[in-house]
Chain A
Amino acid sequence: MQYFEPNFVDEALVLLDRFAPHAHVLAGGSLLGLAVRTRDSRAIADATAIVNVKRIPALREISFDGATLTIGALVTAREASMHELIRAHAPLVARAASSLGARQLRTVATIGGNLCSGHPAADISTALLACDARCLIADIASGPTSVLAVDFVRAESDPRSLLTAIEVPASAARVAYLKMQTRRAFEMAIVSAAVAVELDGSTVRAARIALGGAAPSPVRAANAESWLRGKSPSGAAASDASRLAADQDAAPAGDAHASAEYRRQLVHVLVERALHEAFGMHDAAVR
């Protein structure tokens, strides 16, 4: 197995192209490290090259141009939870990042790795979906492209391409991120709900609701979102919308952690509570 530490994106792309599909990108390393430790043969048995992208400074940049926040793919969960620009312009991402795993994992886990993990309840990915985020992808053959995060997490990634950054449009939305875990400390969420609501006086102008653990990848709750548009932000609206999310938008499968029915029930409860929070309601009865 060969090992490379490129200093530029283009250099990484040449390597990925040369060894595709047998090159593995090494970013934070927790997923790849886990694959090695648990001898997950699918992940590394066929690897002939490791491309460590951590020496590419461009992948760590965070910037805001007044309309769009750009977050480098190598930004860690720890950085995302603390960085001023991310807290100001993508508070949902900061919240999800601060809830990810334990402190040791947040030191190393990257936003790019979270999006590429393929996990149905990946915290930061679910939050990014509710932000209408886009993934910037570099590719030696076709040049840089961008794709909506919701499509990125659903698709099989091209082994020759590299996720370089995430773009989050600025928004004045009120947000909430809630999740259910068997253990608060570091277990993955069973189900999570990321909610962003834009209010126009006393009506909902737009609602973006993303669900983790409710489908094979994080998904948007499109039915609940369109139902909420134009409604007034009330407990009844939250209840009806969360019911739609659970019944029509979620498509959970049962597994060792939770049955499909339980996941659906969690979608209902978490979306309702998240909407309450985003609406600014502080009804003790729903806490």
Chain B
Amino acid sequence: MQPVTLFVNGSAREVVVEPLQTLLAVLRDHLGLTGTKEGCGTGYCGACTVLIDGQPVNACLFPAVDADRRDVTTIEGLADDAGMLHPVQSAFIERFGLQCGYCTPGMILSAASLLAENPQPSDEQARSALAGNICRCTGYQTIIAAVHEAARLLREQGRAGEAPGKRAPIRGRA
């Protein structure tokens, strides 16, 4: 068993994990953060996408030990402290970029990560960034429309290029 400190949505969380335990299991089962969904469990569907130091990963394959002293952003960490939704979240609602919602947390985190490094993506760039997030309910048109709407909202609010979620005051090791 291995002690690990995760900076989840800005808060240090100490957990003890098995060497090959997944970040998904730790988030959901140890920390009760069930916003991160398990879909295929094999790294294809992207429902479990979270951000590690701002970069998207599939939590279902990511070893929890490798999240030690790093920032983990989950869907619970996107809204601000007053409960105001992140522009990407608002845009998915506004453009109805979902039906059942199971893939949505992963979609939103992938989109938020994209917009942090590319505030005005083309259609192709948006589709490429979300290629690892599968939705089985709807088409992808409204999802892509939501990404563009989110980009517009972020620019309008002067938040273009802003890193999504909260970071721990002490940065983790590389």
Q: Interface residues, chain A, CB within 8 Å of chain B?
A: 1, 3, 5, 26, 29-30, 32-34, 36-38, 44, 50, 52, 54, 57, 60, 78, 101-105, 107-108, 184-186
Contact = CB atoms under 8 A, between A and B. Distances in A.
Nearest to B52: A107
A37 B2 contact: no
Interface in B115-131: 128-129, 131
28 contacts: A3-B2, A26-B19, A26-B63, A30-B58, A30-B61, A33-B43, A33-B62, A34-B43, A37-B42, A37-B61, A38-B42, A50-B19, A78-B55, A102-B46, A102-B132, A102-B133, A103-B56, A103-B114, A103-B129, A103-B131, A105-B43, A105-B58, A107-B52, A107-B55, A108-B62, A184-B131, A185-B132, A186-B44
Nearest to A185: B131
Interface string B60-98: 111101100000000000000000000000000000000
A186 B49 CA distance: 15
Contacts of B133: 102
Contact of A103 (B44, B60, B110): B110
Contacts of A103: 56, 110, 113-114, 128-129, 131-132
A34 B131 contact: no
Nearest to B49: A104
A3 B19 contact: yes
A44 B18 CA distance: 14
Contacts of B63: 26, 29, 32-33, 52
Contacts of A34: 42-43, 61
B128 to A, nearest CB: 8
Contacts of B174: 57, 60
A104 B133 CA distance: 9
Contacts of B52: 107
Contact of A104 (B41, B42, B46, B65): B46
Contacts, number: 82
B57 interface: yes
Contacts of A185: 131-132
Interface residues of B, number: 30
Contacts of B170: none
B131 A107 contact: no
Given A3-B65, A105-B132, A37 B56 contact: no
A266 to B, nearest CB: 22
B20 interface: yes
Nearest to B59: A104
Contacts of A102: 46, 131-133
Contacts of A78: 55
Contact of A107 (B22, B57, B60): B57
A107 B65 contact: no
A38 to B, nearest CB: 6
Given A44-B20, A104-B43, A105-B58, 15 more contacts: A1-B19, A29-B61, A30-B58, A32-B63, A33-B20, A34-B43, A37-B60, A37-B61, A52-B63, A103-B114, A104-B132, A107-B57, A108-B57, A108-B61, A186-B132
Contacts of A3: 2, 19, 65
A57 B174 CA distance: 9
Contacts of B46: 102, 104
A38 B43 CA distance: 11
Leading 6 A-B pairs by shortest Cβ distance: A102-B132, A185-B131, A33-B61, A3-B19, A107-B55, A29-B63
B74 to A, nearest CB: 14
Contacts of B2: 3
Contacts of A107: 52, 55-57
Most chain B beta-carbon contacts within 10 A, residue among A5, A37, A44: A37
Contact of B20 (A5, A50, A108): A50
A5 B65 CA distance: 10
